[in-house]
Amino acid sequence: MPYAVELLNITKRFARTVANDEVTLKVQSGTIHALVGENGAGKTTLMETLYGLYQPDAGIIRIHEKEVSIKSPHDSIRNGIGMVHQHFMLVGPMTVLENIVLGAETTRYSLLDLKKTTAEISELGGRFSLTVPLNEKVENVGVGIQQRVEILKAIYRKADILVLDEPTAVLTPQESTQLFRILSELKDEGKTIVLITHKLSEVMAISDHVSVMRRGKIVGEVETASTSPEELAEMMVGRRILLRVEKNDRKAGDPVLSINNLSYIDKRGVNILNNVSLEVASGEILGIAGVEGNGQSQLVECITGLLKPTTGSMSVDGIQIAGLTPKEVFARGLAHVPEDRIKRGLVVEMDVAENLILGLHMQKEFGTGLAMNLKAIEENARFLITKYDIRPMNPDALARGLSGGNQQKVIIARELSRNAQVIVASQPTRGVDIGGIEFIHRTLVEARDAGKAILMISADLNEILSLSDRIAIMYGGQIVKIFPNNKVKESELGLYMTGSKRGSSQKASDG
């Protein structure tokens, strides 16, 4: 089969680092080619070079077996390349239609010919089951739709080579399934697709070939049919990786965190949380599964004192915490790994040592009165950096410069060093690479084995299934069902998550 894309010996350097080191990647026409690797392996840089956002320092790009010069996205679009970026490149206040035609407008009497364009896009949308509300503003539609807009944008420009960068990172399992169906249809129409991802189950499910990148180099290329997730993970990380979490059965102790009939009504009067009741016992991980936006974030914010619940009560070890400030809640034995590490977990302009004592800075060991005990802060940092394997191993490094996985480790190190009874962990491994995920999962299981009560919220069903002792499903601001983990199938969880099935009672039995 002929090649649609050939990247030959591409080298791209940034100030001090080599992002792509003589990378050669060949993609056969009409196939789905997965490009996998850990964060920072150079996958995105390679594809953005193909798309003309970067100029390679050396190397040749061939499209459909002809050498081309790609100096800007304009050139790559002309060569039939389309790219769906990880962070969508959409203009929020403009309509879906305007976003699709932007840069490739049709005009009539020098005005935009939206009528003709609407017809064209509707036809395209129908052909690939990419239905989108054309006259809605992009900022008012969900991420799943926004992604379709991005794909339509590329197809509308007649792209026959489509690059997608981590397309499922923001999608629910249902949306991901839909996306894969669309990608298969595009492939059937003869389009070539390059899929950047680090989720190996996706690679196995949809791709024809896989290339693995590590530290700026291609370390392997295989046919999907002849490989396994374990083999790919080993290539990605450079050592054997446990994709399963090793976890012993363990008898849970007494309830530590209890939530009773918690409700939250927001400023607009919308009922976000509706009589939520939960108990998390010492020595167990309770996983909350659910499609994002069903009240999980607000539940966590109510527990941690960031929001004031409208009604209901909560206690840690019998002590009431409802309505207290975050500082007071933490003083009563709670730790919090927030879902958005940049916004809530870290101060990225401060260094690692400082981030490791955020919220602990009032403790006597780190300072009294006006003076901080810099030595104690640094010692604390060195201890935690070693214990949690945070790279670079430098307390003075700015948090901004760390990879997502290492930023997350800083937060987990800090929160576990509180030695709290209850740990609330929201999306603990979002955007973290495989090596980091393994480490964070192991750490959480160790904390559970040490008798902590862990409430984990995750949009990643695999994570929920592999870590939780019990699984609670949230839908429409309610806990619709609680299962013991060993008695549930993924498909059944999905039915509850989408609201097509509901539990018989609020306080579902523990099995």
Partner 1 sequence: MISQIFSLAFLAQTIRITVPYSLASLGGVYSERGGVVNIALEGIILNGAFCATVGTYYTGSPWFGLLCGIAGGLLVAAIHAVISIHVKADQIISGIALNLFAVGITKFVLQILFQSSSNSPRIAGLPYIKLAFLKDQPDVEHLLGNPLVLLTVLIVIASHFIIFKTRFGLRLRSVGENPEAADTVGISVTLYRYYGVLISGVLAGLAGAWLAFDQHSFTDGMSAGRGYIALAAMIVGKWNPLGAAAACLLFGFAESLQIQLQGGSLPTQFIQMIPYLATIIVLAGFIGKSAAPGADGIPYEKEK
Q: Which residues bind partner 1 (CB under 8 A)?
A: 51, 53-54, 72-74, 77, 83, 85, 89-94, 98-99, 101-105, 107, 110-112, 153, 157
- CA 255, chain centre distance (Å): 30
As given in the structure block, the two tokens for residue 226 are 């002849």
Tell the smallest beta-carbon distance from residue 385 to partner 1 (Å): 27
Closest contact distance (angstroms) between CB of 408 and partner 1 is 21
Q: In whole angstroms, how close is the CB of 111 to partner 1 at the nearest point?
A: 5
Q: How far is the CB of 326 from partner 1 (least distance, A)?
A: 29
User: CB 303 → partner 1: shortest distance, Å?
Assistant: 31
Nearest approach, Cβ of residue 72 and partner 1 (Å): 6
Residue 358's nearest CA partner among 332, 381, 385 is 381
Measured from the CB atom, the residue of 109 and 226 that comes closer to partner 1 is: 109
Q: How far apart are CA 10 and CA 426, in angstroms?
A: 39
CA–CA separation, 187 and 427 (whole Å): 33
Q: Which residue, 94 or 143, has its beta carbon nearer to partner 1?
A: 94
Angle between helices 143-156 and 114-127 (to 10 degrees): 110
* CA–CA–CA angle 305, 311, 315 (5° rounding): 55
Shortest distance, position 162 Cβ to partner 1, whole Å = 14
Which residue's CB is nearer to partner 1, number 83 or number 473?
83
> Toward partner 1, which CB reaches closer, 110 or 248?
110
Residue 463 · residue 486 · CB < 8 Å:
no
- Crossing angle (nearest 10°) for helices 404-417 and 374-387: 120
SS3 406: helix
For residues 112 and 219, which CB has a smaller minimum distance to partner 1 in the complex?
Answer: 112
Contact 493/272 with Cβ under 8 angstroms? no
- Structural tokens at position 114: 């939206």
In the complex with partner 1, which residue's Cβ is closer, 132 or 288?
132
User: Smallest gap, in angstroms, from Cβ of residue 91 to partner 1?
Assistant: 5
Residue corresponding to tokens 């990879």: 403
Nearer to partner 1, 54 or 496 (CB): 54
Taking CB atoms within 8 Å and a gap of at least 24, the contacts of 11-14 are: 11/56, 11/57, 11/58, 11/59, 12/42, 12/45, 12/46, 12/49, 12/54, 12/56, 12/57, 13/57
**Smaller CB separation from partner 1, 105 or 490:** 105
Whole-number Å distance between alpha carbons of 104 and 64: 23
Cβ-based nearer residue to partner 1, 251 or 267: 267
| Euclidean distance between CA atoms 485 and 465, whole angstroms | 7
User: How would you list the strands of the sheet with 3-13, edge to edge?
Assistant: 18-28, 3-13, 58-63, 66-68
The distance of closest approach from Cβ of residue 214 to partner 1 in the complex, given in angstroms and rounded to an integer, is 23
